[in-house]
């Protein structure tokens, strides 16, 4: 029953948030429907995600990650990224999403999350970690050329970082 509630919450979270993000005129046209969906979401989960701030959403994401609750994690990730795209936690949230995808052997999705960090949050402190994690994901995917190129890039762009030392060690192991 709990999984069903979480699934319903995930579906309901994705619909209103994408509607708000894409076209505000649509949300003005049907406020009663949006209120009904929000009320149902509050009833199913016991929480009103529209009143949550980015800190609380991120804290709930970390908790969902630790409990390996993929549905809860992804619903909060989507809410955080759609409502607070410039949050200081957005890059960390994407990194956790990539780690969770790797843990669930969903490597293509993990690479997508790590690449998104590089593109959208290029000045973040998570960029080098995301690039290294992407290289290790390529290695798990049995794509040694992609892994080696990415590790060389980490070593060249971020000398002295912990990831550059790890990249150097991985490159020696791969040869």
DSSP states of 134-153: HHHHHHHTT-HHHHHHHHHH
To the nearest 10°, the Cα dihedral for 56, 59, 63, 65? Answer: 120
Residue 175 is predicted with a pLDDT of: 79
- Angle at CA of residue 103, ends 174 and 62, nearest 5°: 125
Residue 76 is predicted with a pLDDT of: 92
Average pLDDT over residues 44-59: 75
Q: How confident is the model at residue 32 (pLDDT cuts 50, 70, 90)?
A: low
- Residue 19 in contact with residue 26, Cβ under 8 Å? yes
- Residue 63 in contact with residue 79, Cβ under 8 Å? no
* Least confident among 16-30, 41-55, 80-94: 16-30
Average pLDDT over residues 111-122: 96
pTM: 0.72
| Alpha-carbon torsion (116, 120, 126, 131), positive or negative | positive
Residue 23 is predicted with a pLDDT of: 43
Q: How confident is the model at residue 52 (pLDDT cuts 50, 70, 90)?
A: confident
Q: How far apart are CA 161 and CA 154, in angstroms?
A: 9
Tokens of 51: 């009143």
Q: Give the largest Cα separation in the chain, rounded.
A: 62
Q: How far apart are CA 110 and CA 132, in angstroms?
A: 12
H-only helix segments in the chain: 2-22, 24-29, 31-45, 54-66, 70-83, 90-103, 107-120, 127-140, 144-157, 162-174
């Amino acid at each position: 029953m709990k999984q069903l509630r979480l699934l319903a919450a995930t579906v309901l979270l994705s619909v209103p948030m994408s509607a708000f993000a894409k076209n505000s005129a649509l949300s003005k046209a049907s406020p009663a429907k949006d209120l009904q969906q929000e009320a149902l979401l509050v009833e199913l989960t016991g929480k009103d995600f529209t009143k949550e701030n980015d800190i609380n959403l991120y804290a709930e994401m970390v908790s969902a990650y630790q409990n390996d609750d993929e549905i809860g994690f992804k619903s909060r990730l989507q809410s955080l990224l759609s409502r607070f795209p410039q949050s200081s936690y957005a890059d960390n949230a994407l990194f956790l999403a990539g780690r969770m995808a790797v843990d669930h052997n969903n490597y293509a999705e993990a690479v997508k999350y790590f690449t998104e960090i590089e593109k959208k949050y290029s000045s973040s402190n998570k960029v080098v970690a995301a690039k290294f994690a992407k290289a290790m994901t390529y290695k798990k995917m049995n794509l040694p050329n992609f892994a080696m190129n990415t590790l060389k890039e980490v070593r060249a762009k971020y000398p002295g970082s912990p990831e550059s030392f790890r990249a150097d060690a991985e490159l020696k192991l791969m040869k």
